[in-house]
Amino acid sequence: MSNPAYYKHHVFFCLNERKESEQSCALYKAREGFEHCKNKVKELGLSGPGGVRINKAGCLDRCAGGPVLVIYPEETWYTYLDESDIDEIVERHLTSNQKVQRLLLPQDIGR
């Protein structure tokens, strides 16, 4: 019998900022998205051991689809435009284990 994971879901937000001429998630208010998600998860009582952990990440190398976040252990990559997209990811993926199809980052999107 295996031990359960410390967190059920681990969410990484790319907050990388590149030179002005290069695309990066920071250009798309990724920090604000991260803060909103963290607050929403806390508000819903989902955070902490056995629940959800929201983390900052450096470059996730998927800049062309930015802003991006990835949820583990499912290895599900999302892009988002605003707080309502993040709310939908939290409410559907993190609480109901349902992927938000319209926000999935296509596999061929890289840097």
Q: Domain map of the chain by residue range?
A: 9-103
| 8 Å CB contact between 30 and 13 | yes
Task: Read off the DSSP letter of residue 87.
Answer: H
What's phi and psi for 45, nearest 5 deg? 70, 25
Level-2 CATH architecture, domain 9-103:
3-Layer(aba) Sandwich (3.40)
**Distance set, CA 110 to CA 13, 23, 61 (Å):** 15, 11, 6
Beta strand pairing status for 52-57 and 76-79? unpaired
* pLDDT at 105 (0 to 100): 96
pTM higher than the cut 0.95 = no
Spatial separation of the C-alpha atoms in residues 93 and 61, rounded to whole Å: 23
* pLDDT at 3 (0 to 100): 62
Spatial separation of the C-alpha atoms in residues 33 and 87, rounded to whole Å: 10
* pLDDT at 27 (0 to 100): 87
Exposure string for 74-85, b = 16+ CB within 10 A, e = fewer: eebbbbbeebeb
* Per-position pLDDT tens, the chain of length 111: 456 689 999 999 999 988 776 778 888 899 999 999 999 999 999 999 999 999 999 999 998 898 999 999 999 999 999 999 999 999 999 999 999 999 999 999 887
Spatial separation of the C-alpha atoms in residues 33 and 57, rounded to whole Å: 13
* pLDDT at 21 (0 to 100): 67
